[in-house]
């Protein structure tokens, strides 16, 4: 089994260490039954994620996380994907939701990996009651209990 996760900081400071981000992502992959993966997680600034959001999703403005999963060539092919996280936006959301920025970034890592794996949620008010959101929160609690998040 090979779960390759690369974590990069594109000129920004991440509230979690690269090692911790990698551990969280690998825990999600294992929990979802993935045996082979090549995943990159890049922390970028507000302007860069706004460009990605506009260019790839047609949405104006910055968001906290964007994920791209590439189609697998077969059942045995590795999962391949990219996750982009904007810590600045995550900090704002953590303040709005009255919890720590480390928790918010761990949630975004999990959220992004789940999107790479093909999970999705509605964009409306049903987002936080969706199957994906519940799975994300269960994985977050598990990572927190294990000291990974």
18: its two tokens: 């690269």
pLDDT digits (tens, 9 = 90+) for 106-132: 999 999 999 999 998 877 777 777 899
CA angle 114, 13, 60 (to 5 degrees): 60
Q: For residue range 59-68, list pLDDT tens digits in order.
A: 999 999 999 9
Read off the tokens for 32. 């979802």
Residue 74 DSSP symbol? S
Residue 1, pLDDT score: 64
Is 70 exceeded by the pLDDT of residue 5?
Answer: yes
| Alpha-carbon gap, residue 24 to 145, rounded angstroms | 12
In this prediction, residue 128 carries a pLDDT of 78
**Partners of 70 in beta bridges:** 80
Instruction: Give the helix ranges, DSSP H, for the chain.
Output: 18-31, 46-57, 87-96, 101-116, 131-145
Whole-angstrom CA distances from 22 to 14, 75, 77 are 13, 24, 21
Q: Which helix (H) or strand (E) holds 4?
A: strand 2-9
């Amino acid at each position: 089994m090979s779960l390759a996760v690369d974590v990069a900081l594109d000129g920004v400071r991440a509230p979690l260490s690269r090692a911790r981000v990698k551990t969280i992502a690998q825990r999600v992959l294992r929990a979802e039954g993935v045996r082979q993966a090549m995943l990159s997680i890049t922390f970028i600034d507000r302007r860069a994620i706004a460009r990605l959001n506009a260019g790839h999703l047609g949405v104006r403005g910055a968001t906290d996380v964007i994920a791209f999963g590439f189609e697998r060539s077969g059942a045995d092919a590795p999962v391949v994907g990219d996750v982009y996280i904007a810590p600045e936006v995550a900090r704002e959301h953590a303040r709005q939701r009255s919890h720590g920025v480390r928790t918010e970034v761990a949630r975004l890592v999990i959220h992004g990996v789940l999107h790479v794996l093909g999970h999705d949620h509605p964009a409306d008010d049903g987002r936080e009651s969706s199957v994906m959101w519940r799975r994300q929160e269960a994985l977050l609690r598990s990572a927190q209990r294990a000291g990974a998040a």
